[in-house]
Structure 1
Amino acid sequence: MVQLPDDVIGDAQTSRFAWNRLEELVDVGNRMAGQTGEEAGAEIIREAFEDAGLSEVKIDEFEIPGWWRGSSSLTVESPSERVHDGSHQVIALPGTPAGEATGRVVDVGTGTYDEFEEKDDELEGAIAMASSDTPESADRWLHRMEKYVNAADHGAAAFVFRNHIEGALPPTGEVGYHNRPGPIPAVGVSKEVGARLARYAENGDAEATVTVDCRNETATSRNIEGVVGPSEPEDRNGGGETAEADAEEEVLVTAHVDGHDIADGANDNGAGSVLTAEVGRLLTNVADELDSRVRFVTFGSEEIGLRGAYYCAETTDLSQVKCVINLDGACSSRNLRVGTNEFEALEELFESVADEFDAPLSTGDTISPHGDQWAFVQEGVPATMTGTTSEQSGRGWGHTHADTLDKLDSRDLRDVATLVTEAVYRAAQDEFDVEHRSREETRDAIDEGYVQELKMGGRWPYDDLEE
């Protein structure tokens, strides 16, 4: 049966608290990690946490490798001269270095490892172009970073990432990850620009120049935190005996407030950020019924390598974290999707909530390094990636200029808030139990493809176990 009181569910279904904050957040515009817009977005969420009634609200700053966009262009030299320099045609990918490269365009299709090997003798000094698509034959999604690093490793002088969705503008996205800045200039182009280049490349006479102007400098990012429920155990901070009312563990509800500088970041991830505040607001009404404290954290710098999540995981006593429910891309519809990272109890939790509300739900149990929950999963902490699915969502307009408020619906936001609040409420009860894994168990359970991706991006966390 549904465990939240009727008045809390009614509040969730009629509230405009989250939607109003989302309007404020998208109106900031550029919320790129380490820049003034991310700071402004963090302040909006801090105020939302306070208005929601959360306690211990604070902003925690940390240092990151920042990246600032300049101008970019792709000039086709032959067979037909054309300059692409509008942001609707070409944009630099974060983590790229500044630079210019001229060479023959080599189309490596969807950028699988096999396709790069097939074109190996053509790629030295060339401009490698790969689609944002992943073929149906692949056993997992191929990340743009893998395609970028493969291009550099095969001797390419520059990388072009072409969208595979028509009319959806050029895609952006981090390519440097933990090896910032990357080794070669990289740009994203629209499907239409990419299709023209692919047609030229098929005839073997396409030559182009990629130019990227950008800055890679140290910057400051920030996480925002707030708490609902029992207070933190005193002895966790050396205070001796723990008071009887104190919680021995906590549930983390997380999201990321940063976005890409070309977009408003409405669904990715303004919606997730305001949902943390809304779930917190709703739980303040039942705070005395929680057996575990619930800590809400919106991270900075997710889009450039999960840096806010890593910082939080490194500065948190993970043995006290019961589980993490991470919200990302959670307002494209009311159809919930939960990635459970092979934590069966978390899958059962969300399935029971969906059953009680007769709500659509899809789940996946793959241990995935994509999303802020990974910083905790890699250490064996139970965590989900919780979002929504729809035919209109995904890379079609995610990570492009088109991730705007008009794509979203306030009714979907209210429905998701209701379901997530119920799930968090249940997770914070003593009756809910989910076991941590050891780091060794997690390492051994990761799919070989993701092992390859993590090592390629400098993100493999288990070298200490293999010495």
Structure 2
Amino acid sequence: MFETDAPLHLPEEVVGDAYTSSFGWETLTALVDVGSRMAGQTGERRGAEVVRDAFAEAGLSDPRIESFDVPGWWRGSSSLSVHEPHERHHEGQQDVLALPGSPAGEATGRVVDVGAGTYDDFAAHADALDGAIALASSRTPEESDRWIHRMEKYVSAADHGAAAFVFRNHVDGAVPPTGEVGYHQRPGPIPAVGVSKEVGTRLARYAERGAEATVAVDCRNEPTQSRNVVAEVGPETAEEVLVTAHVDAHDIADGANDNGAGSALVAEVGRLLAHDAVDLDTRVRLVTFGAEEIGLWGAYHTAETSDLDAIRGVINLDGACSSRSLRVGTNGFEALGELFAGVTDDLDAPLSTGDTIAPHGDQWAFVQEGVPAAMVSTTSESSGRGWGHTHADTLDKLDSRDFRAVAIQVAEGVLRLANGVVEPTHRSRAEMRDRIDEGYVQELKQGGRWPYGEDRTQTE
């Protein structure tokens, strides 16, 4: 528990309420009990309604749902059949899952294991990949200077002529991983599936002996609508602070930590800031985005329909309840790191930070435009995504005590940001472009997500 004599801006009665209220945890429970909250589908709409009702119960102003168009994807059945050197057939979701954005289709070919699926790995196997089934691990090598996204591995496979892509989990017992491969270029060019580490390790062993396999994906790609949920708290001011998360989750699990917890935290932070005892100098807008998992569509919708110059800063919550130890990705906006360093120092709480400008998470839609925005998550001992993007991202992995502690830290940070304790500085698009590490430039261009035109050095 935090020290009670910490120099907080939140009044003691609000902190006490946060420690004793069940509101946030009940909101999270209601979200996971929706079941599938896949972008553009019925469950995501129901999840948005849960959040809207929570915003209303929290006393926030004008809770509302905003709809926008997205490219939808519906899962059918998938299978992986090994023909040589031993016959094995996998079709249950515990063994094989289609990756969203995959097209429907079937492909048979030799299996080529490209290891971790780095650019060098694909180059080393270039002569063998034409017409093959590319098998890549979800692991990123320790010597890599950044995380290698599954989409990069998928696009590399297609670019090298592979007929299908198999993405194998690197975590023992964590079942098949899912995750988008098409993003804003749906559907992708070749069928794609995820498999468990156990299935993938066996397939890699067979590949050493000349394996042949068939990948089959049944799915549906068609237009649909997603939804953001919006409300406000505080005075009517020209400037505003955004507190955000995404409500959608992959259809195979509850999406408890990724990202039901983030959406419930947005509602709880809004509730704490709506207390009569809280004095806000700047309006705070609370937004839960739809369609994050398939390309940040909800975040882009908000960024494109907002006065970006009027946004003091964005605090985006994603994967923020695996512990009570905050991690803040500042995207190079030092003031946001200083903000949370002050909060955690005063609360005698742990904090880790990173300043890499990373294009993963809803904050990216604002960061690319030069708006100060941070990704706020929590650290854990899990490898990679942990239980995220698998069947096992369920409520039992989380702890209500962690939820309450994180809610206090975030609410305190938002209050300080809204009241001018720090003043983050906006940057130009050109400056943001030039600050992005070459590795992420490569990823963004590889996936068709580079927002600055063809030439990194062009003037704007």
What TM-score do you get using the length of structure 2 for normalisation? 0.97
Q: How does 1:73-84 map to 2 (within 5 A)?
A: 73-84=79-90
Q: How does 1:338-377 map to 2 (within 5 A)?
A: 338-377=328-367
1:214 aligns with 2:204: no
Distance apart, 1:464 and its partner CA = 8.0
Matching residue of 2:229? 224
Q: Distance in 1 between matches of 2:72 and 2:393?
A: 22
* 8 Å Cα contact 1:229-1:288 kept in structure 2: no
Deviation string 1:387-430 (CA, Å, 9 cap, x unpaired) is 11111364231100000000000000000000000000000013
Matching residue of 1:392? 382
* 8 Å Cα contact 2:137-2:169 kept in structure 1: yes
Matching residue of 1:21? 27
Matching residue of 1:60? 66
Matching residue of 1:404? 394
Q: Distance in 2 between matches of 1:388 and 1:11?
A: 22
Distance apart, 1:248 and its partner CA = 2.0
Deviation string 1:183-215 (CA, Å, 9 cap, x unpaired) is 000000000000000001112x10000000000
Deviation string 1:282-341 (CA, Å, 9 cap, x unpaired) is 001157621110000000000000000001100001010000000000110111111000
Aligned-pair identity (%): 72
SS of match in other structure, 2:376: strand
Structure 1 counterpart of 2:402, one-letter code:
D
Structure 2 counterpart of 1:213, one-letter code:
D
Q: How does 1:408-419 map to 2 (within 5 A)?
A: 408-419=398-409
Q: Distance in 2 between matches of 1:401 and 1:385?
A: 24
How many residue pairs match? The answer is 451
Distance apart, 1:462 and its partner CA = 0.6
1:284 aligns with 2:280: no
Q: Distance in 2 between matches of 1:373 and 1:287?
A: 30
Q: How does 1:231-310 map to 2 (within 5 A)?
A: 231=236, 247-286=237-276, 289-310=279-300
Q: How does 1:21-40 map to 2 (within 5 A)?
A: 21-40=27-46
Q: Distance in 1 between matches of 2:136 and 2:183?
A: 19
* 8 Å Cα contact 2:172-2:198 kept in structure 1: yes
Structure 2 counterpart of 1:230, one-letter code:
P
Matching residue of 2:452? 462
Structure 2 counterpart of 1:410, one-letter code:
S
Matching residue of 1:192? 198
1:5 aligns with 2:11: yes
List, as ranges, runs of 4+ consecutive aligned residues in structure 1 with deviation greater than 3 Å: 464-467
Q: Distance in 2 between matches of 1:288 and 1:371?
A: 29
Q: How does 1:59-208 map to 2 (within 5 A)?
A: 59-203=65-209, 205-208=210-213
Q: Distance in 2 between matches of 1:35 and 1:418?
A: 32
Q: Distance in 2 between matches of 1:21 and 1:217?
A: 31
Matching residue of 1:241? none
* 8 Å Cα contact 1:111-1:147 kept in structure 2: yes
Matching residue of 1:243? none
SS of match in other structure, 2:66: strand
What TM-score do you get using the length of structure 1 for normalisation? 0.95
Q: Distance in 2 between matches of 1:194 and 1:42?
A: 36
Structure 1 counterpart of 2:360, one-letter code:
H
Q: Distance in 2 between matches of 1:125 and 1:394?
A: 30
Deviation string 1:349-378 (CA, Å, 9 cap, x unpaired) is 000000000001100000000000000000
Structure 1 counterpart of 2:327, one-letter code:
R
Distance apart, 1:3 and its partner CA = 1.2
Q: Distance in 1 between matches of 2:421 and 2:158?
A: 51
Unaligned runs of 5+ in 1: 232-246
Pairwise CA RMSD of aligned residues?
1.1
SS of match in other structure, 2:262: helix
Q: Distance in 2 between matches of 1:392 and 1:13?
A: 26
Deviation string 1:256-301 (CA, Å, 9 cap, x unpaired) is 0000000100000000000000000000115762111000000000
Deviation string 1:102-147 (CA, Å, 9 cap, x unpaired) is 0000000000000100000000000000000000111100000000
Unaligned runs of 5+ in 2: 1-6
Distance apart, 1:431 and its partner CA = 3.9
Structure 2 counterpart of 1:75, one-letter code:
S
